[in-house]
Amino acid sequence: MSAIPPQKLPTYVSLSFLFDELGRHSFGQKWDGTEKIAAEIPPLKDARAMIAEEKKLTEKIRKRFDGRSDDEHLARIDFETDLDEYGIWKTDQDEYAIRVIVSQLIQLRKDIRILPYLTDEENYCAKYDAFEKRNVIDKSIKDILLNQKLFAHHRNEKGRQAIPVDCWTSTAVKFDLANNAVFIQGKRFDNLEFEAKQVTKIIREISDKKFSTQTVRDDLMALMRNPSSQDYVKADFRSLIKKKHPSLSGRSFEPIWVEADTMTGGNFRRAGRRPRVRK
């Protein structure tokens, strides 16, 4: 069940190994490894809204530049610390309002810089899909640790140390795959290790459930392809699938939803879809 033959399996494995194994066995062929480096980005519709807001705020500032509204001045707002030279306010209240706009604009531009190119919609959606799958596996690892199906250790100058189970109850948990570390409420734990036998057992359990997961996915894909379902949203599909598979939990539905939608073309998670109006 593991990527490493049992006879060669080490005693402990890294966070990256655990993440990749869970991803491959949860998403199958739809897992391509890019999830490990997927950056956090907003849905396409939110990214476009950010661009629109940046233009709106830029125009507000442009109108304040008494004849000096050229793009060079506007571009400098990214790092300008002293706007007094521009003389674009007449009262203290006016100055405060402008500085608020400038602060918002600076933050927006920082956020926009890290986004993939929006002109390549297919590439953007692929990157967002990778991030979503990464998010699912991140949550899966946290749940496994919280439910004590697996125990995490870290290494420091004192040797191998167990990470207390109650740490996983925190909402501030961020895995750092590149550096085999985790941040919990700001505290960093390096050199993470997980017992290989426990990991193999978890992977086997996932594989044993694979058949039932595939059945749910196939049923969901059939619904997605049905012409009468084209105006449905996620909640509609979840409700219909739950009727057919009552034991399916909300957590289990998430990776199935992502995989089914990806395999049918990604139409039901695309930006701009609106909830169906029920009569």
Do residues 66 and 17 both lie within one domain?
no
> Are the beta carbons of 177 and 16 closer than 8 angstroms?
yes
Do residues 48 and 88 both lie within one domain?
yes
Total residue count of the chain as it appears in this document: 279
- Tens digits of residue pLDDT in 132-162: 999 999 999 999 999 999 999 999 898 899 9
Do residues 215 and 196 both lie within one domain?
no
How close are the terminal C-alpha atoms of the chain, in Å?
49
Predicted model pTM: 0.62
Tokens of 105: 């604009």
Longest dimension (CA), the chain: 77
Domain-embedded: residue 135: yes
- Return the higher-pLDDT residue of 249 and 219: 219
Q: Residue 23 belongs to what domain range?
A: 6-38+121-203
Do residues 83 and 216 both lie within one domain?
no
**Confidence check: pLDDT of 9 > 90:** no
Confidence of residue 209 (pLDDT cuts 50, 70, 90): low
Do residues 192 and 91 both lie within one domain?
no
Q: Which of 83-92, 169-178, 187-196 has the lowest mean pLDDT?
A: 83-92
Q: Which pLDDT score, from 0 to 100, does residue 69 have?
A: 47
Domain-embedded: residue 168: yes
Do residues 128 and 189 both lie within one domain?
yes
Secondary structure of 194-215 in HEC code, one letter for each residue: EEHHHHHHHHHHHHHCHHHHHH
Among 176, 203, 230, identify where a domain stops.
203
Among 154, 171, 203, identify where a domain stops.
203
- Tens digits of residue pLDDT in 64-103: 655 454 455 555 555 444 455 455 555 556 667 777 887 8
Do residues 95 and 233 both lie within one domain?
no
List phi, psi (to 5°) of 83.
-95, 0
Among 203, 228, 244, identify where a domain stops.
203
34 in the Ramachandran plot: left (φ > 0), alpha (ψ -120 to 50) or beta? alpha
Number of H helices, E strands in the chain: 9, 7
Rounded to an integer, the average pLDDT of 171-191 is 94
Domain-embedded: residue 270: no
Do residues 147 and 193 both lie within one domain?
yes
- Total domains in the chain come to 3
